[in-house]
């Protein structure tokens, strides 16, 4: 079966600024090989219900402000896959297909490093911050059959995401990140789904849930089995760039 992955996409500047996480994402595409298609659940598309992109040629969305000018000139011209998107709509109860939807930076900033030639079709799925981790886990479970077709299921968010604490760090961040990585490696799926109660300092590290929710789709597609930590560094002292892979 094709592995599933979660990546922390960090700052949009990751696409142009040298660093360990940029190097990691460039190496991740080599490790994963070339899937037939990529299904990406992104923290930067928030909707009330599950939405799936059916756009055949998504534009590149520069959904950020105050970054280096070269970022606003970057494009990721990968094709969409409306046929796959329509299949996914049928697989996820209550999902809706969206005919016009570009790639936000939760999609293109990691993929431009992983697969810079931009030829692999990509279908984006939204997150629902009004729904819990169990809901997003179920979305991932519904996508599990795609793993038998060499389709990569990827979540793109952030292992920690409290932008008010950028540059500050602190033991509460380390404790949460340790708990998260240990729970993934041990296959403690039920604890992960219940992270708001089980994880130390959960609310402080994720004042809003949208950047952690993408993790639960690849976890669900792997049926909560043990994963592997691939990247474990911090940017801006408080932003964990942890990434995980599930191969079973």
How high is the pLDDT of residue 248? 81
Global pTM?
A: 0.97
Each as own residue / partner, the long-range contacts of residues 85-90 (CB below 8 Å, 24 or more positions apart, any chain) are 85/52, 85/53, 85/54, 85/123, 86/54, 88/39, 88/52, 88/123, 88/125, 88/143, 88/146, 89/52, 89/54
Give the tens place of pLDDT for each residue, 20-50. 999 999 999 999 999 999 999 999 999 999 9
Percent of the chain residues past pLDDT 90, beyond the cut: 97
23: CB partners within 8 A, 6+ apart: none
For the chain, the domains span 4-246
Q: Homologous superfamily of 4-246 in CATH?
A: LigB-like (3.40.830.10)
Nearest to 233 by CA among 193, 189, 187, 173: 173
Q: What is the average per-residue pLDDT within 116-136?
A: 98
pLDDT in tens, 73-112: 999 999 999 999 999 999 999 999 999 999 999 999 999 9
Mean pLDDT score, 61-82? 96
Indicate if the pLDDT at residue 238 is higher than 90.
yes
pLDDT, tens only, 184-220: 999 999 999 999 999 999 999 999 999 999 999 999 9
Give the angle 148-104-92 at the CA atoms, nearest 5°: 40
Per-residue pLDDT, 178: 98
Q: Which helix (H) or strand (E) element contains residue 227?
A: none
Token pair listed for 71: 């970022």
Task: Average the pLDDT over 121-127 and give the result.
Answer: 98
First to last CA, the chain: 7
Give the model's confidence band at 58: pLDDT under 50 very low, under 70 low, under 90 confident, else very high.
very high
pLDDT more than 70, % of the chain: 100
Position 226 confidence tier, pLDDT thresholds 50, 70, 90: very high
Q: Which pLDDT score is estimated for 90?
A: 98
In whole angstroms, give the CA distance from residue 236 to residue 83. Answer: 40
pLDDT at 192: 98
CB-side exposure of 202: number of CA atoms within 13 Å? Answer: 16
Q: Is the pLDDT of residue 175 over 90?
A: yes
């Amino acid at each position: 079966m094709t592995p599933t992955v979660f990546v922390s996409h960090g700052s949009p500047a990751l696409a142009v600024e040298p660093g360990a996480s940029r190097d990691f994402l460039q190496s991740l595409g080599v490790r994963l090989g070339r899937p037939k298609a990529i299904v990406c659940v992104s923290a930067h598309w928030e909707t009330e219900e599950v939405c799936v992109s059916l756009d055949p040629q998504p534009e590149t969305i520069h959904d950020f402000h105050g970054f280096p000018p070269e970022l606003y000139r970057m494009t990721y011209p990968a094709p969409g896959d409306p046929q796959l998107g329509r299949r996914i709509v049928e697989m996820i109860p209550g999902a809706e297909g969206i005919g016009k939807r570009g790639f936000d930076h939760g999609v293109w900033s990691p993929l431009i490093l992983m697969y810079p030639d931009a030829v692999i079709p990509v279908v984006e799925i939204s997150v629902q911050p009004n729904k819990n981790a169990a809901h997003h886990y179920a979305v991932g479970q519904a996508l599990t059959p795609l793993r038998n077709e060499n389709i990569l299921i990827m979540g793109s968010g952030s292992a920690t995401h409290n932008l008010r604490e950028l540059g500050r760090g602190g033991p509460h961040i380390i404790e949460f990140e340790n708990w998260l990585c240990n729970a993934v490696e041990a296959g403690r799926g039920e604890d992960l789904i219940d992270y708001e109660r089980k994880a130390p300092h959960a609310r402080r590290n994720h004042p809003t849930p949208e950047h952690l929710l993408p993790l639960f789709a690849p976890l669900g597609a792997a049926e909560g089995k043990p994963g592997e930590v691939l990247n474990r560094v911090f940017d801006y002292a408080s932003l964990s760039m942890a990434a995980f892979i599930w191969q079973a």
